[in-house]
Chains A and B, each alone.
Chain A
Amino acid sequence: MKLTKDQLMAALFLAPSLLLIAIFVYGFIGWTGWVSVSNWNSLMPDMSFAGLKNYLYLFGDYRFQAGIRNTIFFTVLFILSVIVLGLSLAILLDQTKKGNAVFRNIFLFPMALSFVVTGVVWQWLLHPSTGFNRFLQVFGIQPKWYTDTNILAGFQWGSIEFGLPVAIIAVVIAAVWQMTGFSLAMYVAGLTGIDEELREAARIDGATEFQIYRKVILPMLTPITMSVIIIMAHISLKIFDLIYAMTGSGANFVTDVPGVYMFETTFRGNYYANGAAIAMIMLILVAVFIVPYLIHSRRGTS
């Protein structure tokens, strides 16, 4: 096979970035994987092979189990809220053409902040003895927000109580506040992409406004919903900055997540191998979502 000049040039130009990605992304994933099966659990590297010892330790560990539980509930609540709120707001905006742009921008603004800023602000807003509770005092309710240590519908599972940690709801509120604008923008784009003629056709066929949305528009928005789910899932499975700035790992680890645990055990406790094992588990969790999506979208394009 003979390469044309164009192909040769293309390969040359791609080479540096391929090489960099190979080293700094995949190379280091490999390195992390190697560390995670080593005995490097003190300041000085010890790369002797430990098998799955670090993984087994984690699966029996109270804090790690709590972190996984919190991640599951955080992810589910976060994605559901972002989709429902984003879609509702997008439909409302779609209904009224007036002031559309203004509101779209207002809802998008929180996206411009970093999670750290959001975390600090919501930490004070939902502080049990200052923030929002001063207002709720009028009604005689004083939620404990992120300091609540209750687990709803909890049952013993492993060494932890499995159920919905009430404290995580406070974190979900902050995350939803920030990310709803994103799903809103996605849905607005999706809605504008739907041809007005389709709606007209449905109307002529005698469909009500509600039926039009249920039978025509929502099905057409499915690809957008898929994208939102994937993007939000990889944000929430890897979440670190929001939790770290807002609540820390929380009393009894009710707001702990694997990212925070990884950081603390690696850089405070010097358990490098344990930290690497947590990182690998997080990678697998994210891959469970991303890989099928990538395969699916590749099939779609080719």
Chain B
Amino acid sequence: MLKRSLSLLFMMVVISLLVACGSDSESSNDAADENASNEETDNNSESTGSGEGGTLEIFSWWTGAGEEDGLLALIDLFESKYPDVAVENAAVAGGAGTNAKAVLAARMQGNDPPSTFQVHGGAELNESWVAADMMEPLNDFYEEYELMDKFPEELIDLVSKDGNIYSVPVNIHRGNVIFYNKAVFEDNGISEPTTLDEFMDVLQQLQDAGVTPLAMGDKEAWTATQIFENLLLATLGPDDYRNLWTGDVAFDDDRIVEAAEYFKTILGYVNEDHASRNWQDAAQLVGEGEAGMTNMGDWAKGYFSNDLELETNVDFGYFAFPGTTEDFMVITDTFGLPKGVEDPELVKEFLNVLASAEGQDAFNPLKGSIPARVDADPSKYDEYGTDTMEDFQNSNLTPSLAHGSAASEGFLTKVNQEVNIFVTQQNVEQFIEKLVQAAGDL
């Protein structure tokens, strides 16, 4: 008798669990709403009387050294202004954002968006969430807080689609930078090249000197794609480089063939074990003087100073990718306002902190990036930072392909694959043909 009632009890528990699961997966919509209302009531009970309150969930992939400190500083700043708000740091680690993007896609598709999330300005924002009509326009927000003239116009264009602004940029990284070993350059009497032809000469000089001219770590193909995009920028110039992504310049253009030829030449000067290294391992070769230069976005600066403990402009130097000295390949992290969040006004308060000079100056020195605002306080940044801030205001801003700003992730994945094949096969004709094919996915 006891046995039977026990087993019946067990069955009931199992069945009720199943029913709960079933309703959850059938209508994640309702579940999300339910959660939301639960959270609301929770918060109301926590902060009775204040009128403010609520929860703010900040979604990002900032979990590494430096970037996490920056994010926490931002959250601290926000909490000091809004002590009643419970901030949830929903960062997802791993895969340079790949894991986070997969989680985000699942949540957005299930109508359970975070309050605000990290997204690169450009196609990664516009061609995905904006195109799917899942983001709120922020034009009113920009006007209310008088932000229109606080960011460069070209940057606002990057986070806009059809005249509507969809996110707030918090930082800027530069992709067209070459870092080099000062001692290696000085020993061989080499000066910083500014044109592609000078660059080819420098590569040859370093080769003759018995140094690996260019360190590359393409265990993940985007590092090689980054070299190619900088070559595209150099041969096409900023205007036609931008036109490439709108389809106004075709991928079998002569200047793109030229860029591929340069790419091929450059590949003759890279370290033999490039396929086994990531960008940090490649930067290390430069730090140790085994290689002369490496092309990397300027987050590598933090790696040189903090991890390799090298001194800026003493041990290592930097210059813009030859042929692109007037241009600035922009990688910008931005935050927007998804549709269907529980408290849009609260999210806007956070975006306002994020957009403020105070917020940007709290975040960027720690992250090792420069502020997206034009009026930030230069004294808070190091030598590299102030240099870059000046360049940022005086250059043509162009979106990076390798970091998802220029074209959709789908197109980028295909380009990465073709670049990976090209690095080994070095067949220019076939490469161009494949790029033209992939351009159908633009």
Interface residues of chain A, those whose CB is within 8 Å of chain B, are 9, 12-13, 16, 19-20, 41-45, 62-63, 123, 127-129, 144-147, 149, 247-253, 264-265, 267-271
A252 touches B18 (CB 8 A): no
Per-residue interface assignment for chain B, residues 131 to 164, with 1 indicating a CB less than 8 Å from any chain A CB and 0 otherwise? 0100000000000000000000000000000000
- Complex Cα distance, B276 from A145, in Å, reads 10
Identify the closest chain B residue to A61 (Cβ).
Answer: B417
| CB contact between A43 and one of B132, B218, B220 (< 8 Å): that residue | B132
Question: Cβ of A268 and Cβ of B18 under 8 Å apart?
Answer: no
Count how many chain B residues have C-beta atoms less than 8 Å from C-beta atoms of the other chain.
35
Q: Kindly provide the distance from the CB of A282 to the nearest chain B CB, expressed in whole angstroms.
A: 19
List the A side residues contacting B414 at CB < 8 Å.
269
Q: Are B412 and A128 in contact, CB atoms less than 8 angstroms apart?
A: no
B424 & A270 in contact (Cβ 8 Å cutoff): no
From 235 to 287 in chain B, residues with beta carbon under 8 angstroms from any chain A beta carbon are 272-276
B209 CB–A CB distance under 8 Å: no
Is A42's CB under 8 angstroms from B276's CB? no
Rounded to whole Å, the gap between the CB of A32 and the closest CB of chain B is 15
* Least Cβ–Cβ distance between A255 and chain B, in angstroms: 9
A146–B276 CA distance with the chains assembled, in angstroms? 8
**Chain A residues, Cβ within 8 Å of B14:** 16
Does B423 contact A127, Cβ atoms closer than 8 Å? no
Find out whether the CB atom of B413 lies under 8 angstroms from the CB atom of A269. yes
With an 8 A cutoff between CB atoms, is B409 at the interface? yes
Q: Which of B97-105, B313-321, B358-366 contacts A (4 or more CB under 8 A)?
A: B97-105
Q: Is the CB of A252 within 8 A of B425?
A: yes
Q: How far is the CB of B136 from chain A (nearest CB, A)?
A: 17
Whether the Cβ atoms of A264 and B413 lie closer than 8 Å is yes
Neighbour of B410 across the interface among A62, A250, A271, CB < 8 A: A271
- How long is the Cα–Cα vector from A12 to B10 in the complex, in angstroms? 11
| Subset of 26 A-B contacts with CB under 8 Å | A12-B7, A16-B18, A41-B410, A42-B410, A43-B128, A43-B132, A63-B417, A128-B272, A128-B273, A129-B276, A147-B272, A147-B273, A149-B424, A247-B219, A247-B276, A248-B220, A250-B275, A251-B423, A252-B421, A252-B423, A253-B421, A268-B409, A268-B412, A269-B413, A269-B414, A271-B410
Query: Which chain B residues (118-134) contact chain A, with CB distance < 8 Å?
Result: 128-129, 132
B149 to A: closest C-beta gap in Å: 33
In the assembled complex, the Cα of A138 lies from the Cα of B98 at a distance in Å of 42
Residues of B within 8 A of A253 (CB): 417, 420-421
Contact B98 A269 (CB under 8 A): no
B84-102 vs A, CB cutoff 8 Å, 1 = contact: the mask equals 0000000000000011011
CB distance from B20 to the nearest CB of A (A): 13
B98 CB contacts on chain A under 8 angstroms: 267-268
Please, which residues of chain A bring their CB within 8 A of the CB of B276? 123, 127-129, 145-147, 247
Q: Does B11 contact A (CB under 8 A)?
A: yes
Q: Kindly report which residue of chain A lies nearest to residue B101, judged by CB atoms.
A: A267
CB distance from A231 to the nearest CB of B (A): 29
Question: In this complex, what residue of A is CB-closest to B96?
Answer: A268
Chain A positions within 8 Å of B109 at CB level = 43-45
Residues of B with C-beta under 8 A to A268: 98, 101, 409, 412-413
Shortest beta-carbon distance from B93 to chain A in Å: 15
Closest 4 CB pairs of A and B: A269-B413, A252-B424, A251-B275, A147-B275
